[in-house]
């Protein structure tokens, strides 16, 4: 069950925030778009959408919301990031744009564009027993993968890439959840439900 009166925001600077809002509506949660500090202050939890992490950083700075989000995450705000959102939550990035900053908080190293370029985008079913008994529909678009995880990070799903190595693609550390894929553009809401029911509890 979704906690009563939980106010969820979706960072709406760039990327597929509308799809996250729709996925949350399907989970009976009316989410609000977050662009300003006032909106951030009104939410209990945040979703950072897929898009382009370098653009999200620069817009977050322009809107003067970069440091406030970083502080809320560090203070324990439940936050879920998909794809570019995963990169934004990661403490370390490989193949970052020079000087690329993140909100951080999640003790992982992600490799940007790890699965290749746009043409290498793909859709598949992955197993994530902690999230759902059924396979999860996962869409990867210029997706990162997780190269290293700290000792407090739980790997929820992995996927074997063309290099023959199984890479973590869904991780959780306490109040932080991240997926390299985009559940928001499918009609499989199990990751959103897991976030609302288990991470935001």
Question: Can you give the binding site for ligand GLN, defined by CB under 6 A?
Answer: 50-53, 83-84, 87, 112-113, 141-142
- How far apart are CB 155 and ligand GLN at their closest, in Å? 20
Q: Which residues contact 75 (CB under 8 A, 6 or more apart)?
A: none
Q: Whose Cβ is closer to ligand GLN: residue 61's or residue 201's?
A: 61
- How far apart are CB 54 and ligand GLN at their closest, in Å? 6
φ/ψ of residue 121, rounded to 5:
-70, 145
Q: Whose Cβ is closer to ligand GLN: residue 39's or residue 52's?
A: 52
Q: Whose Cβ is closer to ligand GLN: residue 142's or residue 172's?
A: 142
Q: Which residues contact 47 (CB under 8 A, 6 or more apart)?
A: 8, 9, 10, 11, 17, 20, 24, 31, 79, 80, 81, 82, 85, 195
| Active-site amino acid positions | 83, 182, 184
- How far apart are CB 56 and ligand GLN at their closest, in Å? 7
Distance of alpha carbon 181 from alpha carbon 201, whole angstroms: 23
Q: Cα(first)–Cα(last) distance of the chain, in Å?
A: 9
- How far apart are CB 61 and ligand GLN at their closest, in Å? 16
Distance of alpha carbon 13 from alpha carbon 32, whole angstroms: 12
Of all helices (H) and strands (E), which one includes residue 80? strand 79-82
Q: Which of 63, 62, 34 is nearest to 47 (CA)?
A: 34
Q: Whose Cβ is closer to ligand GLN: residue 72's or residue 142's?
A: 142
| Cβ–Cβ under 8 Å, residues 84 and 50 | yes
């Amino acid at each position: 069950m979704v906690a009563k009166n939980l106010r969820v925001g979706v960072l709406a600077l760039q990327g597929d925030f509308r799809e996250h809002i729709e996925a949350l509506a399907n989970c009976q949660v009316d989410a609000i778009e977050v662009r300003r500090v006032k909106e951030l202050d009104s939410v209990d939890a945040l979703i950072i959408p897929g898009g382009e992490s370098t653009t999200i950083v620069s817009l977050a700075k322009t809107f003067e919301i970069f440091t406030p989000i970083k502080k809320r995450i560090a203070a324990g705000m439940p936050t879920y990031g998909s794809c570019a959102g995963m990169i934004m939550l990661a403490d370390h990035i490989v193949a970052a744009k020079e000087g690329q900053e993140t909100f951080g908080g999640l003790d992982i190293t992600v490799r940007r564009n790890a699965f290749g370029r746009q043409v290498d985008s793909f859709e598949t079913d992955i197993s994530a027993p902690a999230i759902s008994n059924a396979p999860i529909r996962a869409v990867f678009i210029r997706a990162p993968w997780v190269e290293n995880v700290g000792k407090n990070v739980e790997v929820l799903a992995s996927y074997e890439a063309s290099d023959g190595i199984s890479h973590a693609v869904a991780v959780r550390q306490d109040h932080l959840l991240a997926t390299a894929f985009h559940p928001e553009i499918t009609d499989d809401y199990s990751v959103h439900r897991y976030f609302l029911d288990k991470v935001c509890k």
